[in-house]
Structure 1
Amino acid sequence: MGTVPKVLATEAALRLIERLKERYGPLLFHQSGGCCDGSSPMCYPRGEFLIGENDVLLGEIGETPFYMSAAQYEYWKHTQLIIDVVPGRGGMFSLEGPEGVRFLTRSRVFTDEEIRTLKESGEL
Structure 2
Amino acid sequence: MTGDSAPAPLVDLTPAAAELLRRLTAAHGPLMFHQSGGCCDGSAPMCYPEGEFRTGGSDVLLAALSVDGVDEPVSFWMSASQYEAWRHTRLIVDVVEGRGSGFSLEAPEGVRFLIRSRLVGS
TM-score, normalised to structure 1, is: 0.83
Q: How well do the aligned residues superpose, as a CA RMSD in angstroms?
A: 1.4
What whole-Å deviation, never above 9, does each CA across 1:27-85 have from its counterpart, x for those lacking one? 10001312223321100011210011111111123320000011110000000000000
Contact between 1:42 and 1:91, CA under 8 Å: does it hold in 2? no
User: Does the alignment pair 1:15 with 2:56?
Assistant: no
The residue number in structure 2 matching 1:45 is 49
Structure 2 gap segments, 5+ residues each: 1-5, 68-72
Equivalent in the alignment of 2:63: 59
Q: Decide which of 5, 8, 19 is 2:9's aligned counterpart.
A: 5
**Residue identity (%):** 60
47-56 vs 80-89, which moves further = 47-56
Q: Distance in 2 between matches of 1:9 and 1:91?
A: 21
86, 94, 102: which one aligns with 1:84: 94
Q: Structure 1 runs of 4+ off > 4 angstroms?
A: none
Please tell me whether residue 106 in structure 1 is matched to residue 116 in structure 2.
yes
Q: Could you tell me which residue of structure 1 aligns to residue 36 of structure 2?
A: 32
Aligned length: 111
Is this contact kept in 1: 2:36–2:82, CA < 8 A?
A: no
Task: Give the structure-2-normalised TM-score.
Answer: 0.85
Alpha-carbon distance in structure 2 between the residues aligned to 1:23 and 1:29: 16
1:121 paired residue number: none
